[in-house]
A and B are shown apart, each in its own frame.
Chain A
Amino acid sequence: MQYSQKVLDHFMKPHNIGKLENPDVEATEGSPACGDQISIFLKINYETHIIEDIKFQSYGCASNIATGSIITDMAMGKTIEEAKNITWKGAAEELDGLPAVKMHCSVLAVDTLKKAIKKYEIEHGLAKAETFSKKTIIEELKKVIYPGVGEDIVTLKMVKYVGLENGVATIDVEIPKFDTHRDNVVEEIKEHLEAFDEIKEIKVTI
């Protein structure tokens, strides 16, 4: 397993690294405890909705830094509608691929960008905050990557059941007992869902 030359180039000399003074919006996702965190800062033209400047800061590994760099390149000069179409798979492809075990870095970078855009839209009356529902949980589970193959657990049909009742989220996941990524997937699910105030308890059964 190794990084592409493009990943190494963006890692060694990341584009758009740093902090924007007086950004129109900023978002931070991940945490030092998980080993990766990204902050994204945006300057958006209020009239045209074009991203006129974007910067990021990274606490994380080489692929965390490289994906932060590539998505800021991809978003720069785009309208926020266009930027919302950036996907973690697209970002990974732009980097000539990422090792399966590193795909979650791309998910984190793109998710942070989308969170920042959503926040801007809500603050400027361009969108309403979404009502929390079971669908929100399923969308969030699409950000949990199974490190064995670098695909999300919903697409891989590993999620067998999602329930939400009185603030208790119940997730049934199918992972063989001998699978070395089992604990990691469960932890990832919990980390993703803990971010929602609406969820009081998370029950993951495997």
Chain B
Amino acid sequence: MERIYFNNCLTSQPAREVIEIITAYMKDKYYFPENFISKGTEASNNLDNAKKIIADSMGADAKEIHFTSGGTAANNLAIKGYLTANSNKGTHIICSVIDYPDILTNAAFFENSGFDVTYLQNDNEGFIDLEQLKDSIRKDTILFMTTMGNHTVGTIQPIKEIRDILDSAKQKIVMHVDACEAYARIPIDVNELGIDLMSISAHKIHGPQGIGALYQRKGIVLGQIQHGVNRMDNLQTGGMNIASIAGFAKAVELAFNDLDANIAKIRKLSDYLLNKIESTIPDTLLNGPRGIKRISHNINISFDYIEGEAIMMMMDINGVSISTGSACASQGLKPNYVMMAIGRNHEQSHSSMKFTLSRYNTFQEIDYTVEKLAEVVKELRSRSPLCN
């Protein structure tokens, strides 16, 4: 049996059509945009077209899209770019304790540089505390950042409600959203939701690795954070990953060709997986919300009495890739901070397993996975002093 892959939040399998277009670009269409000469003009048109495809997927204008080397680069461009160019307006930032590390490490960086940061708390399903948000807004608040779909427990933050709260301030508070997990898994319209800056990543939606994009609302000023030769604009200096950009656009086309059907398919698979685990294996606990307030591809579940790295390793030996929030699987040997922030104890964090699905998964794969998982959990529980 081929490897069964449930780590799509880490990276996903590139679509066949994506590989084909990247290959074609690398062979015959590798040119950089240049004025007047035929190949340069063609390259320029192709880039514009790729931007348009991505812009259309989120209700934006092509001019509002910048390509980056990935989600982290997009987050850095948004946060560092905005704060360096706008610190004269204020020096207070708001984010939450369960945000993706890109946001938290940038917040810490600016905290060390003299900014004030409010870290919002959350409830036990991972929704940020909106009352605390209301109370945290100050005259000098200039930026709110959030992870649209939580990378660990899948919680979809109420972006529209957050926008309304931010708009109650007298000054403009810019909202930056890391949508790398949520993009193509829930419908996102930047205008309906009032998003000002948004990061997305290709390799999480069956596109190539090493390419992402930042949506920058017209009128929002970003400072330059990477200086160098200006080939597209001053926010995207240096050479361009032409083939990967084409692959990214293809991945977006495939995902958004029938977004509702794609989301419905993945949600059906995820629901099937969750139901099957809960009905087959005793003493489990779902982490994060149940139903539509959760990103369609994420199931995070704790298994009492046993430790997650052991589950992960045994499932790996059985040909199934899943991940764990256990400290033992982390380099820092610390329990997962999101799990702790949603009120789980150390044991529940150590035993949490994350499945992130894709449209390429099948019901048969899930049947096999849960069958093996039930065996693995039973075996490890038989060895555990906590249930014997």
Contact = CB atoms under 8 A, between A and B. Distances in A.
A32 B327 CA distance: 11
Given A35-B327, A36-B328, A61 B307 contact: yes
Contacts of B327: 34-35
A61 B310 contact: yes
Nearest to A8: B317
Given A61-B328, A180-B331, A35 B307 contact: yes
Given A32-B346, A33-B345, A62 B309 contact: yes
A39 to B, nearest CB: 4
Contact of B385 (A3, A8, A37, A62): A37
B285 to A, nearest CB: 15
Interface in B297-327: 305-307, 309-310, 313-314, 317, 326-327
Interface string A25-40: 0001000111111110
A11 B380 CA distance: 10
A70 interface: no
Given A34-B346, A35-B346, A183-B334, A11 B385 contact: no
Contacts of B385: 28, 37-39, 57-59
Contacts, number: 82
Contacts of A11: 310, 313-314
A57 B382 CA distance: 9
Interface string A85-126: 000000000000000011010000000000000000000000
Given A32-B347, A184-B332, A61 B383 contact: no
A14 B386 CA distance: 18
B345 A35 contact: no
- Contact size range, A: 20 to 34
B8 to A, nearest CB: 22
- Contact size range, B: 20 to 34
B327, B329, B331, B383: residue with the most chain A Cβ atoms closer than 10 Å: B383
A35 B310 contact: no
Nearest to A148: B331
A12 interface: yes
Given A32-B347, A35-B335, A36-B328, A62 B310 contact: yes
B384 interface: yes
A190 to B, nearest CB: 14
B328 A17 contact: no
B329 A61 contact: yes
A203 interface: no
Nearest to B327: A35
Contacts of A18: 383
Interface of B: 305-307, 309-310, 313-314, 317, 326-329, 331-335, 345-347, 350, 383-386, 388
Given A8-B313, A37-B385, 20 more contacts: A11-B314, A12-B317, A14-B383, A17-B383, A33-B345, A34-B327, A35-B346, A36-B328, A58-B384, A59-B384, A59-B386, A60-B328, A65-B310, A65-B383, A101-B331, A104-B333, A147-B333, A183-B332, A183-B334, A184-B333
Interface of A: 3, 8, 11-12, 14, 17-19, 28, 32-39, 57-62, 64-65, 101-102, 104, 147, 180-181, 183-184
16 contacts: A8-B313, A19-B388, A34-B327, A35-B328, A36-B307, A39-B385, A57-B384, A59-B306, A59-B385, A60-B328, A62-B310, A64-B310, A101-B333, A104-B333, A147-B331, A184-B334
9 closest cross-chain pairs (CB), A and B? A61-B309, A61-B328, A33-B346, A57-B385, A62-B313, A39-B385, A32-B347, A35-B350, A35-B327
